[in-house]
Amino acid sequence: MKRVDYFFKGIKIDPNEKFISNEKIVSVNNSEIKEEINQIKNNLFPIINPVKVITLKSGEYHLTQIIDKDKTFKNIRIIIKENSKVKLYDFTKSTYSDKNMHFSNIEIIIEKESKVYYLKIDEFKNETIYSNTEIEVEENAQVDVDLIGFNQGKTFNNFKINLRGKHAVGNFKAIAIANQGTENLYEVAINNYAPLTKGDIWQKAVATNKGSNQLFTTGFIAPKCSKAENYQESRVLLLDDAANGDVSPILLIEHHDVLAGHAAGVSRVNSDELYYLMSRGITKHEAEKLITLAFVRPLIDSLPTEELQESTLLKVNSFLNN
């Protein structure tokens, strides 16, 4: 008899979560937002064709783009050749804010045996941004994604990693900071379409000052994908009562011989931690800042260069002070 090997670890219950109930999260916001996304998708997809195809071999590449007036941006397909080691830095900034909707569509195809590091830092000021990223990972290939969001408007971030070949690995890490005016929506999915594939999602979002972060995370394991693994952890930290955050962790598993797990939580700053820091003379505001930085630190510390680590840390700081 076959052993049923997958397991759900369930949503963590935190004593500080009391003020935000799960029912509220699911019933109110979920459907409205989903509908909104669907509308946007329907409007967008007919016009998306890969307008630019780039083929890359081993090396470091920058994809810096600036959103100017009246210019929608990025509609790119990137193909990473077999056996390559690629570092791809993607910095997108908007220089001004308007009421138009802008969209970005990036498709990355990672061929066999390649290893890709993809860092995407978004700084959107615009009212509405729709950003769609899809990564296809072939046999024995690996992608490590770091996504950092400092957005000031409404952002729909749709991020999908498809693990197509055996032993394909996808690691996705993201941090997002929401301040006044920010509405971040992250729809992240890792799909295991082959046996022995491994996916991992790690997301931390901070909301302050009426900002909002919503994380919809999906792990999907297709039928016949033996020994596939899919994990996810999503957490939202709310710094004040006006901040808003939802987490919706989903695992869809269609095979029995797999490993999967999810953890999720929306919480405020832990009062014991706050008390401890304050008992050494640190003000409440400063203590919250320290705890917030600690919350997003694992991603920042893993960034490839010290300059990037420092500049990201500074940006988190200034974004929280705004």
Partner 1 sequence: MKQLIIKDLHVEIEGKKILKGVNLTIKSGEIHAIMGPNGTGKSTLAAVIMGDQKYTVTAGEIHLDSENILELEVDQRARLGLFLAMQYPAAISGITNSDFIRSAISAQGKNDESLIKYIRRLENNIGELKMQRDMANRYLNEGFSGGEKKRNEILQMKMLKPNFAILDEIDSGLDIDALTVVGQNLTEEISNRSSELGLLMITHYQRLLDYIHPTHVHVMLDGRIVESGDANLAKKLETDGYEKLKDKYGITEIEEEENKRVSIGSCATAVGVGASNEKS
Which residues are near partner 1 by CB under 8 A?
9-10, 12-17, 202, 204, 231-233, 235, 237, 261-263, 265, 267-273, 275-284, 286-287, 290-291, 293-298
Question: What's the closest the beta carbon of residue 251 comes to partner 1, in angstroms?
Answer: 11
Tell me if residue 306 falls in helix, strand or coil. Answer: helix
Give the shortest CB-219-to-partner 1 separation in angstroms: 12
Phi then psi for 293, rounded to 5 degrees? -60, -40
With the C-alpha atoms ordered 45, 46, 51, 57, is the resulting torsion angle positive or negative?
positive
How far, in Å, are 18, 288, 294 from residue 273 at the CA level?
Answer: 18, 9, 11
Residue 42 neighbours by CB distance under 10 Å? 9
> Which residue, 64 or 317, is less far from partner 1 as judged by CB?
317
Judged by beta carbon, residue 105 or residue 312, the one nearer partner 1 is: 312
Strands of 75-80's sheet, edge to edge? 52-56, 75-80, 101-110, 128-137, 154-163, 183-192, 212-221, 244-253
CB of 232 to partner 1, least distance (A): 8
- Structure tokens that stand for 177 in this block: 């900071």
Distance CA 164, CA 140 (A): 10
Residue in the structure block whose two tokens are 């830095």? 89
Smallest gap from residue 36 Cβ to partner 1 (A): 28
Residue 51 or 294: the one with the smaller Cβ distance to partner 1 is 294
Burial (0-12, 13-18, 19+ Cβ within 10 Å), 109: buried
Please identify, using beta-carbon distances, which residue of 12 and 71 lies nearer to partner 1.
12
Tell me whether residue 109 or residue 205 sits nearer to partner 1 (CB atom). 205
Nearer to partner 1, 67 or 228 (CB): 228
Taking the least distance from each CB to partner 1, the nearer of 81 and 297 is 297
Q: Cα separations (Å) of 206 from 23, 60, 156, 235, 237?
A: 21, 30, 16, 9, 5
Least distance from partner 1 to the Cβ atom of residue 275, Å: 6
- Report yes or no: 141 and 112 within 8 Å, Cβ to Cβ: yes
Which CB, 103 or 319, lies closer to partner 1?
319
CA distances from 48 to 51, 64, 74, 104, 110 (A): 8, 20, 10, 10, 20
Nearest distance, CB of residue 320 and partner 1, angstroms: 14
